[in-house]
Amino acid sequence: MKQIASKKISGSLVVKTGLHIGAGNDRVEIGGMDNPIIRNPLTQEPYIPGSSIKGKMRSLLEWKLDKVKQFSGKPCACGRADCPVCRVFGSANNNRGSADDSKGPTRLIVRDAGLSSEDRQKFNEGKPIIEEKHENSLNRITAEANPRPIERVVPGVRFDFELVYRVIDTGDNGAIDESNFEKVVKESLRLLQNDYLGGGGTRGNGRIEFASLRDEHGKEITL
Contact between residue 13 and residue 19 where contact means Cβ atoms under 8 Å apart: no
| C-alpha to C-alpha distances, 166 to 5, 105, 106, nearest whole angstrom | 6, 9, 8
Between 85 and 115, whose beta carbon lies closer to Zn ion? 85
Residues 131-190 that bind Zn ion (CB under 5 A): none
Q: Is the Cβ of residue 78 or residue 157 nearer to Zn ion in the bound state?
A: 78
Determine whether 121 is exposed, middle or buried from the number of CB atoms within 10 Å of its CB (0-12, 13-18, 19+): exposed
CA neighbor of 178 nearest in space, from 192, 189, 168, 191: 168
User: What residues from 65 to 94 belong to the interface with Zn ion (CB under 5 A)?
Assistant: 76, 78, 83, 85-86
CA distance 73 to 70: 8
Taking the C-alpha atoms of residue 153 and residue 157, their distance in angstroms, rounded to an integer, is 7
Question: CB of 66: closest distance to Zn ion in angstroms?
Answer: 12
Compute the least distance from the CB of residue 84 to Zn ion, in Å.
8
Minimum separation from the CB atom of position 69 to Zn ion (A): 14
Q: Could you count the other beta carbons within 10 Å of the beta carbon of residue 27?
A: 8
Q: How far is the CB of 68 from Zn ion (least distance, A)?
A: 11
C-beta of 38 vs 57, nearer to Zn ion = 57
DSSP letter string over 125-162? TT---EEEEEEEEE-TTT--EEEEEEEEEPTT-EEEEE
With respect to Zn ion, which residue has the nearer C-beta, 180 or 205?
Answer: 180
Q: Is 61 in the site for Zn ion (CB under 5 A)?
A: no
Residues in contact with Zn ion, total (CB under 5 A)?
Answer: 5
CB closer to Zn ion out of 83 and 167:
83
How many C-beta atoms surround the C-beta of residue 81 within 10 A? Answer: 15
- Rounded to a whole number of angstroms, the minimum distance from the CB of residue 75 to Zn ion is 8
Q: How far is the CB of 180 from Zn ion (least distance, A)?
A: 13
The nearer residue to Zn ion, 53 or 61, going by C-beta atoms, is 61
Contact positions toward Zn ion, by CB under 5 A?
76, 78, 83, 85-86
